[in-house]
Amino acid sequence: MESWADFMDWAWARHHNEWSWYIRPLIILAFCLAAYLLSWVGVIFLALLFPVSAILFPAPEVIDPNIAKYRAQEKRLTENATLTEIMAFVGAVILFLSVLAAAFWKRNLWFGLLVANLGSLAKIVVNLWLWPEAGAAAIAPTIVTVVIFNSVVIALWVIYKNRASKNSRAQI
């Protein structure tokens, strides 16, 4: 790669890989676990991995037409965005990740679920608002994220509660 433009073309091609969308639930779960375990290093590493995940996978040989439309809209938006708009977007993502981390850092699983689900709902609403036709391409990966995230967090909560009730009975 000889220039920034070459790098951006390389990254954009990789960003079309659907795996970059479907890997996010694992990153978000690991991020929340790091916060729950009070690991600053884990939280920071995973927060940085989140945007990098967009280019972890190779460029797909065949691109789903709906994803191609979505990415074209996304590219137009990013190319035409002002610095203020870019900073607002980055700020919103940082705010979301900060509140999500804080919820799990404080061990408040229900608030963490609320934050994660509101973030997912916001993603769907914003995508459909910005791109009524192409925005629907983000719905399936977002719902997969919601289902996986909610299932894992609720399952962990049930396991924790069962252990806590067994421990309290054992002490009697």
Enter the tokens of residue 139. 């719905």
> Which residue numbers in the chain have pLDDT < 70?
1, 168-172
Q: Residue 76 has what pLDDT?
A: 85
Q: Residue 1 has what pLDDT?
A: 63
CA 137, 59, 43 angle in degrees (round to 5)?
Answer: 75
Three-state SS string across the chain, please? CCCHHHHHHHHHHHHCCCHHHHCHHHHHHHHHHHHHCCCHHHHHHHHHHHHHHHHCCCCCCCCCHHHHHHHHHHHHHHHHCCHHHHHHHHHHHHHHHHHHHHHHHCCCHHHHHHHHHHHHHHHHHHHHHHCCCHHHHHHHHHHHHHHHHHHHHHHHHHHHHHHHHHHHHHHC
Q: Residue 164 has what pLDDT?
A: 81
**Long-range contacts at 137-140 (CB < 8 A, ≥ 24 apart):** 137/64, 137/66, 137/67, 137/69, 137/70, 138/21, 138/70
Q: Which residue ranges make up each domain of the chain?
A: 4-171
Can you give the pTM of this predicted structure?
A: 0.84
Q: Residue 171 has what pLDDT?
A: 62
Q: Closest Cα to residue 145, out of 106, 172, 113, 105?
A: 113
Contact (Cβ atoms closer than 8 angstroms) between residue 124 and residue 142: yes
Q: Residue 16 has what pLDDT?
A: 82
